[in-house]
Amino acid sequence: MRYSILTLFPGLVRPWLEESLIQKAIAKGLLQVEVVDLRAFGLGPHRTVDDTPYGGGPGMVIRPDVAVAALESVLPADEVILLSPAGVPFTQKVAEELAQKAHLVLLSGRYEGFDARLEAFATRVLSVGDYVLMGGEVAALAVLEATARLVPGVIGDPLSHREDSFVRGLLDYPHYTRPPLFRGMGVPEVLLSGHHGEVLRFRRKEALKRTLLFRPELLGRARLSREEVAWLAELDREG
């Protein structure tokens, strides 16, 4: 999988690529990540990348000629993704779709964002949440992490992501490790029982319970078994 991240602040992105599983995947050749400095395509002796907005208003806007010149330096690509709070929500389903691609370009804006005409060059406009960041680098790295971990070989256990939050429409079940007793709080007995069938049932129930507690709106589109539907009705009765 190849990623091209276009940004005005490459120094914010490059350290992220030098740690943890991303760094290991790059070293193994599973991922290729290039960080492109938009200012290298700036205009004039000062490498100007932005200008004042037509119609007035605060802030500066990244020029389309600069952004497209940078974009064309890394094409062709399977997807050109513009990160914007005005975009379509980035979800696990979208991450799974993008993880099947060979080359993703991630456009990270700053200031008031990119000139709107850049959207004509994007295949998707994505938002990582209903809030505004100082720039698109964090959003681009979120897309990188969410998709890269689905690339075969990047994470240690190829089956682990199948139980992730949102994969079936539910949140993940809670996890526990040693010590078995910490400041008066114990580990559920079923997890110490060695009974794999009961452990699986417990985890499915807990995933359902956590989803009902923290993200009940997800339940309307979750893929639930008949048993889980019955558990959900029981949880509703218990309040």
pLDDT at residue 160, as a whole number? 63
pLDDT at residue 156, as a whole number? 79
Contacts of 74 (CB under 8 A, 6+ apart): 4, 6, 34, 36, 105
pLDDT per residue of the chain (239 residues) written in tens, 0 to 9 = 999 999 999 999 999 999 999 999 999 999 999 999 999 999 999 999 999 999 999 999 999 999 999 999 999 999 999 999 999 999 999 999 999 999 999 999 999 999 999 999 999 999 999 999 999 999 999 999 999 999 999 997 766 666 566 777 899 999 999 999 999 999 999 999 999 999 999 999 999 999 999 999 999 989 899 999 999 999 988 87
Q: CA angle 3-136-127, nearest 5°?
A: 90
Which structure tokens are listed for 27?
Answer: 């070293």
Q: Where are the beta strands (DSSP E) in the chain?
A: 2-7, 32-37, 50-51, 61-62, 79-89, 103-107, 124-127, 181-182, 185-186
pLDDT at residue 22, as a whole number? 97
Contacts of 91 (CB under 8 A, 6+ apart): 166
pLDDT at residue 169, as a whole number? 86
Q: Measuring CA to CA, how many Å separate 173 from each of 88, 119, 170, 193, 203?
A: 27, 38, 9, 17, 5
Which structure tokens are listed for 36?
Answer: 């492109």
Partners of 107 in the β-ladder: 6, 82
Does residue 52 sit in helix, strand or coil?
Answer: coil
pLDDT at residue 159, as a whole number? 62
pLDDT at residue 167, as a whole number? 72
3-state SS string over 76-87? CCCEEEEEEEEE
Q: Which amino acids are annotated catalytic? A: 85, 112, 149, 164
Which structure tokens are listed for 77?
Answer: 């690509």
Asked if the bond preceding 188 is cis, omega within 30° of 0, the reply is no
